[in-house]
Amino acid sequence: MTDKTSAPLDEGWSGERCPGSAFARRSLLHGAAAGVAAVAGGTALGGGAALADTEAHPEQPPKSRTIPFHGYHQAGIATPPQRVLIYLSLDVTASDREELTDLFRTLTSRARFLTAGGRPPKAAPTAPPTDSGILGPTVQPDGLTMTVGVGASLFDDRFGLGSRKPVQLVPMTAFRHDDLDPALSQGDLLVMLCADQRDTTVHALIDILTHTKSAAKLRWRIDGQRNPERPDGTRRDWFGFKDGIANPSTTDPAQMNQWVWVQPKSSEPAWAAGGTYHVVRIVHFHIEAWQKVPVAQQERIIGRRKASGAPMYAVGENTPDQLDPIYTNDPQGLITPLNSHIRLANPQTPQTFTTSTILRRSYDYDRSPNSQKLDMGHAFTCFQRELGTYITMQQRLENEALVPYITPRGGGYFFALPGVRDDKDYFARGLLS
């Protein structure tokens, strides 16, 4: 099952089936016909000139970028969020530890290639193609990251890994107002694909499923997006509010080590150092009901201003959202209600200090393009050094004012593996060796 990348393709993509001369001849005939039409039409010459100018200066495609794959930590966690996301939850069908190791090696080799880009291996003339071709003859990385995590179910008795399970890793159980769908929850593995372009994530999805089908099968999938900033500086979710304002600094190693990354010589297994607990919650938004709520009430439910994302004590639309909410002078919740979303998530009390900091990296989803009833919401994503941090926070949110307008329907708890260090390393090597 181990995947190997062979020599690059020769110049020319499927040239023996689509010779360049055929395209040249077709273009010449098309150009001649267009010229006759222009002369016959007289005034059409102006339009023809404009068309020629457009063809001479085509719109430039977005510049592709490469995010390094190797490192002590996986990319896609501290990485600034890309525009699009696909989550793949997989059930492992490998029969033993050797096949499981082969699966992780394959995931590693595919991630190395897809995140770096390049020419796929050339197939024999009578063989199926080695790549879907969605991105053309050369795969562009487009800022792709592929982040792999393991679920609690991987540590059952199939592979003898029970004694190596991360200490806090458990299956996700329903909170008070959840309506979890088993078909949209849990999984042995979680693969998070993020990129700058939609077709890049779809290409990676097809590639991963193709190369792992002998040892894993798809359990569930969710596609997400991060909306553009509307207006400049404020990216909004489907409720019209800014998400993920309060985060530790991903560029500050001290903050990331304190709140996100599992440290060496901790209570966790030695192999887990450099990894982190990964929470995914697929949260349905009741948009029709939300639209009936006056903006002033929406702001009190969330605990921030809708236009700016600023705390409730701020009034102007251009107030920076980086301002900290102040609760010490508002003990009764007259300004920021006690049951508002942000105040319950982080009450700013000494008792809740250690259970109020997580790294949010969420996306919005829409699963209802052909449905009369909207199925839109939030693929809530967060990373934290201890899973208990998130669980305690979510228990506080069971009483939030937002409850009537959301229904969590799926997701799971996973452990995002440490990074792949170099060309000789592979995902989960420390766990499996």
State both tokens at 199: 């077709």
Q: What is the pTM of this model?
A: 0.85
Q: Is the pLDDT of residue 34 over 50?
A: no
Chain segment 358-398, per-residue pLDDT in tens = 999 999 999 987 767 899 999 999 999 999 999 999 999 99
Please compute the mean of the pLDDT values over residues 232-245 and round it to a whole number: 83
Average pLDDT, integer, range 181-198: 98
Question: What type of residue sits at position 110?
Answer: R
Residue 21 pLDDT more than 70? no
In DSSP terms, which residues pair with 408 in a beta bridge?
283
User: What pLDDT score was predicted for residue 316?
Assistant: 79
pLDDT band at 60; cut points 50, 70, 90 = low
Domain boundaries, the chain: 84-432
Query: For position 1, what pLDDT does the model report?
Result: 58
399-428 residue pLDDT tens: 999 999 999 999 999 999 999 999 999 999
62 — pLDDT class (breaks 50, 70, 90): low
Which pLDDT tens digit goes with each residue over 118-156?
999 999 999 999 999 999 999 999 999 999 999 999 999
Which band of pLDDT confidence, cut at 50, 70 and 90, is reported for residue 5? very low
pLDDT band at 23 (very low <50, low <70, confident <90, very high): very low
Q: What is the per-residue pLDDT for 233? A: 73
DSSP 386: -
Average pLDDT of the chain is: 87
Question: What is the rounded average pLDDT of the residues 147-171?
Answer: 98
> Given pLDDT bands bounded at 50, 70 and 90, which one contains residue 180?
very high
Q: Is the pLDDT of residue 36 over 70?
A: no
In angstroms, the CA 133 to CA 59 distance is 22
CA distance 433 to 422: 17
Q: State residue 362's pLDDT score.
A: 95
Q: What's the pLDDT score for residue 321?
A: 76
For 286-343, how does the pLDDT look when each residue is reduced to its tens digit (9 = 90+)? 999 999 999 999 999 999 999 888 899 998 777 777 788 889 999 999 999 999 999 9
**Helix (H/G/I), strand (E/B), else coil: 358:** coil
Distance CA 237, CA 218 (A): 28
In terms of Cα–Cα distance, which of 283, 240, 237 is closest to 407? 283
Instruction: Give, as one character, the DSSP assignment of residue 127.
Output: S
Smallest CA-to-CA distance from 125 within 41, 202, 16 is with 16
Long-range contacts of 316-321 (CB under 8 A, 24+ apart): 321/234, 321/242, 321/245
Residue 9 has pLDDT above 60, yes or no: no
Reported as a single tens digit per residue, the pLDDT across 85-122 is: 999 999 999 999 999 999 999 999 999 999 999 999 99
